């Protein structure tokens, strides 16, 4: 749990006054529907109780001053509200990109501000600490400037900040989940229309457990953008036969009847993942609504196999974790979650099997990789808000 008191005191120390407001934005875990959010498909994430706090106060001039308790050594970073953006490698690019994207969208963020961030999402875990920083910054800046945004617009602006200013061509899932998550519910989002519904996340005798592989692959950014290009190329080849405007709008039946158009085996695999992952996600939501957690778990396992073999975004460490989970009794389902190439596994485990799960997966992972995995027992939490 992040300490609001520590943040307020550190804010006073750095800026000589108390913050006017504090915004909180959570990280997310995706249950199923991976790499579908830029293919016109559905996703099923939930917000976490881990996240980012942003304390903020208006200034009388046009300066934006930024500090992060996670990057204390960097001290106070200072920018002109309309001046140059921070360097590519700086964490400050996230809040400054959000500020720019807010103004691009006509939100009139005209006051300078002092901002301070603190978070408890493990670094490099793939649980969307960047989306949490973006959403927290957006809420804080909007709060100081008397701007109110509905969640769709908030998520879109934060996604745009990342696409245009940070330079990562991500979909909208992470920002949307952080903005709109709801306690004890999964968020069933249609990424083509941004319509969404909450699905009660009731696991009965089981629990959600996230396992951090602590592996962070440097390839993640470039491979992510490459997957997007491959999906676009596959769609172009399928278009004449399917008339679809997105891979996830093609049903498995139509895909099977049209896949000869994909003369490149890599494109065939990428498209097959998108088509079948969408089908799995729709079935998983039905299973969850019907209380069939076993079926939900089986679909999670299928998702991992597809991400590993067809989409090729898993990695050795995530495969070791999932294999260990699948071999452990009491595990209903397990898969990598998020963009891939490292980060976390999400699993559903019977409550009375959790001790065995932690022991077996923990020791097996240590033996196989030399790394100690971290385990988090979690339940879906609320999305972003101002907290005072
Ligand atoms: C990352 C991106 C999301 C989504 C996932 C994969 O988390 O930020 O938009 O594409 O990967 O599902």
Residue 362: its pLDDT value, please?
A: 98
Structural contact between residues 113 and 64, judged by C-beta atoms closer than 8 angstroms: yes
Instruction: Find out whether the beta carbon of 278 lies less than 6 Å from any atom of ligand 1.
Output: no
Q: What is the mean pLDDT of the chain?
A: 96
Q: So what's the pLDDT on residue 1?
A: 67
**Residue of 38, 39, 129, 173 to test ligand 1 pocket, by largest number of atoms within 8 Å of CB:** 173
The token pair at 16 is: 């000589």
Q: Which atom of ligand 1 is nearest to the CA of 128?
A: 7
Q: Is the CB of 339 under 6 A from ligand 1?
A: yes
Bigger pLDDT: 388 vs 69: 69
How far is Cα of residue 82 from the mean position of the Cα atoms in its chain? 29
Alpha-carbon gap, residue 188 to 51, rounded angstroms = 21
Confidence band of 32 (pLDDT split at 50, 70, 90): very high
The residue nearest atom 9 of ligand 1, judged by CA position, is: 171
Q: What is the rounded distance in angstroms from the CA atom of residue 270 to the CA atom of residue 256?
A: 14
Tokens of 239: 């278009």
Give the pLDDT score at 232.
98
- Compute the distance between CA of residue 129 and CA of residue 25 in angstroms, rounded to an integer: 9
Give percent of the chain with pLDDT exceeding 90.
95
Q: Are 364 and 317 in contact (CB under 8 A)?
A: no
pLDDT above 80 (res 220) = no
pLDDT band, very low/low/confident/very high, at 218 (cuts 50, 70, 90): low
pLDDT interval class at 219 (50, 70, 90): low
Nearest atom within ligand 1 for CA of residue 172 = 9
Among 124, 66, 68, residue whose Cα is nearest residue 96: 66
Rg of the chain taking only CA atoms, in angstroms: 21
Distance 37 CA to ligand 1 centre (A): 7
Strand partners, 51: 26
pLDDT in tens, 147-182: 999 999 999 999 999 999 998 899 999 999 999 999
Angle at 133 between CA 81 and CA 341, to 5 degrees: 125
Higher pLDDT, 327 or 167: 327
| Of 316, 322, 370, 371, residue with least CA distance to 349 | 322
The pLDDT of residue 375 is: 98
- What number of other Cβ atoms are within 10 A of residue 240's Cβ? 9
Supply the pLDDT for residue 149. Answer: 96
Distance (Å) from CA 162 to ligand 1 centroid: 12
Percent of the chain whose pLDDT exceeds 70: 99
Q: Using alpha carbons, select from 57, 52, 53 the residue that is nearest to residue 20.
A: 57
- The predicted structure's pLDDT at residue 346: 98
383 in Cβ contact with 138 (< 8 Å): no
**Is 174 a catalytic site residue?**
yes
Dump pLDDT digits (tens) for 357-367.
999 999 999 99
Classify residue 187 as exposed, middle or buried by CB count within 10 Å of its CB (0-12, 13-18, 19+): buried
Nearest CA to ligand 1 atom 11: 339
Ligand 1 and 277: CB distance under 6 A: no
Contacts of 270 (CB under 8 A, 6+ apart): 227, 230, 231, 234, 310, 311
CA atoms within 13 A on the CB side of 71: 14
Using DSSP's 3-state secondary structure scheme, residue 156 falls into helix
Mean pLDDT (whole number) for 260-288: 98
């Amino acid at each position: 749990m992040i300490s609001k008191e520590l943040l307020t005191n550190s804010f006073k120390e750095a800026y000589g006054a108390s913050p006017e407001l504090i915004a909180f934005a959570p990280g997310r875990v995706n249950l199923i529907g991976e790499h579908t959010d830029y293919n016109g498909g559905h996703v099923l994430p939930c917000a976490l109780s881990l996240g980012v706090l942003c304390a903020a106060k208006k200034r009388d001039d046009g300066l934006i001053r930024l500090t992060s308790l996670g990057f204390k050594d960097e001290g106070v970073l200072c920018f002109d509200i309309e001046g140059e953006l921070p360097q590519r490698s700086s964490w400050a690019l996230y809040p400054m990109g959000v500020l720019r994207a807010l103004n691009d969208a006509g939100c009139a963020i005209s006051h300078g501000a002092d901002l301070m961030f603190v978070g408890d999402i493990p670094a490099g875990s793939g649980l969307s600490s960047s989306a949490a920083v973006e959403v927290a910054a957006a809420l804080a800046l909007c709060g100081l400037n008397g701007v109110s945004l509905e969640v769709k617009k908030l998520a879109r602006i934060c996604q745009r900040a990342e696409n245009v200013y940070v330079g990562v061509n991500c979909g909208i899932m992470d920002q949307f989940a952080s903005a709109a998550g709801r306690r004890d519910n999964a968020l069933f989002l249609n990424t083509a229309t941004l319509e969404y519904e909450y699905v009660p996340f009731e696991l009965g005798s089981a629990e959600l457990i996230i396992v951090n592989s602590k592996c962070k692959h440097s390839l993640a950014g470039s491979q992510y953008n490459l997957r997007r290009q491959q999906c676009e190329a596959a769609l172009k080849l399928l278009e004449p036969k399917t008339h679809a405007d997105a891979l996830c709008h093609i049903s498995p039946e139509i895909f099977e009847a049209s896949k000869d158009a994909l003369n490149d085996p890599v494109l065939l695999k990428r498209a097959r993942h998108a088509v079948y992952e969408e089908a799995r996600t729709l079935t998983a939501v039905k299973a969850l609504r019907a209380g069939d957690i076993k079926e939900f778990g089986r679909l999670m396992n299928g998702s991992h196999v597809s991400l590993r073999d067809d989409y090729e975004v898993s990695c050795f460490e995530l495969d070791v974790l999932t294999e260990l989970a699948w071999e452990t009794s009491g595990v209903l389902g397990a898969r990598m979650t998020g963009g891939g190439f490292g980060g976390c596994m999400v699993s559903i485990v019977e409550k009375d099997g959790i001790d065995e799960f932690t022991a077996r997966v923990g020791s097996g992972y240590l033996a196989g990789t030399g790394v100690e995995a971290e385990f988090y027992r979690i339940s879906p939490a609320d999305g972003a808000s101002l907290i005072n």
